[in-house]
Structure 1
Amino acid sequence: MASPIVLGLRAAQLVMAFVILGLSAYVANWYNVDTLTSSPSQINWLLFCSLFTIISIAYIELAPRFMPKVAHPMAFVGLELANVLFYFAGFIALSVFISKLLFCRGSVCGSARADVAFGAFEFLVWGVTSFFAVRDNLKGGFNFRRNRGQAPLAGPQMKESQLA
């Protein structure tokens, strides 16, 4: 069972993912509709990151409850660390992109800057939950190793004959 702190951080991650999704979609739409160029890859990357976060949170929170056979502790750690890496790359790339623009004004620029800020916060929150996930898995000895050395639950594979 997850602690109340982790559940609160998950809620914050989900809310920020939807905020980033909206901001990135707004900026991408502006590029695709009002300019002659397509939206920058940095915006598209943060758009992907927000969708990946929504799917990750759904798996991390719902799989242990409803599909325990597909819930693996190392998959949780992998998703946590992937989100940390994705948001780190995303907010850094978008901030560098914005810093190299000749001018940046208006609601689109403000949305892109807010996208960077929310991406940085999302990176920090995923970093905290990743720390908790790695710590809990190291403390538990990685769940898939716990039964090493024990006999299988199916019973003996061979039995001696009673004829002799």
Structure 2
Amino acid sequence: MPSALVLGLRAAQFAMAMVILGLSAYVANWYNVDTLTTSPSQINWLLFSSLFTIISVAYLELTPRFAPRASHPYVSIALEFCNVLFYFAGFIALSVFISKLLFCRGTVCGAAKADVAFGVMEFLLWGVSAVLMGKDVFKMGFNFRKSGRQAPLEGPQMKESQLA
């Protein structure tokens, strides 16, 4: 993948995760402090997803640069697709939750609706980066030498016989 495009995607993913973290924390705090009920699981899921995104972006960007032996393309693509699924589930669940409320007004409701909108944008960002990463990983196949790595459990090279 082009480095500038990936870096831009990662920066946008990190920024959106911070926004979702703030919005979800605000709504969860309102539920836990101002009402008699705990925060909904849909809000808690988006809190988890944003924290998972921060950890994922750190792994995807820092590991290949500073610990390349700990980086594996299949782990990277798994993180990408997990984030896609987490945000898809999160924004769908929260939008259904908001649609079932009897009333929705005030700053908390606005924050929850914004949380859905940012969840959709995060889903799209992770979807684009997952497709780009998947294309690169499956184009590379099992040949890890293109990325400068040795294939795991590779035995010694065979020598030709001197019989002729």
- TM-score tier, shorter chain, comes to 0.7 to 0.9
* Deviation readout 1:69-124 (Å, 9 max, x if unpaired): 11000000000000000000000000000000000000000000000000000000
The one-letter amino acid of 2:46's match is L
Counterpart Cα distance in 2 of 1:82 and 1:149:
27
Q: TM-score, normalised by structure 1?
A: 0.88
Counterpart Cα distance in 1 of 2:14 and 2:88:
17
Counterpart Cα distance in 1 of 2:139 and 2:68:
21
What is the match of residue 98 of structure 2? 98
What is the match of residue 52 of structure 1? 52
What is the match of residue 162 of structure 2? none
Answer whether contact 1:73 1:143 (CA < 8 A) is retained: no
Q: TM-score, normalised by structure 2?
A: 0.88
The one-letter amino acid of 1:62's match is L
Counterpart Cα distance in 1 of 2:153 and 2:22:
51
Q: 1:1-164 alignment to 2 at 5 Å?
A: 2-144=2-144, 147=151, 151-152=155-156
The one-letter amino acid of 2:156's match is P
The one-letter amino acid of 1:94's match is L
What is the RMSD of the two structures over their aligned residues, measured on CA atoms? Answer: 2.2
Q: Number of paired residues? A: 155
Q: Taking every aligned residue pair, what percent have the same amino acid on both sides? A: 70
Runs (5+) with no aligned partner, structure 1: 157-164
Larger Rg: 1
In structure 2, the CA distance between the partners of 1:149 and 1:64, relative to structure 1 (3 Å rule), is closer
* Deviation readout 1:98-157 (Å, 9 max, x if unpaired): 00000000000000000000000000000000000000011111445874896437x99x
Q: CA deviation at 1:31?
A: 0.1
Runs (5+) with no aligned partner, structure 2: 160-164
Counterpart Cα distance in 2 of 1:143 and 1:48:
35
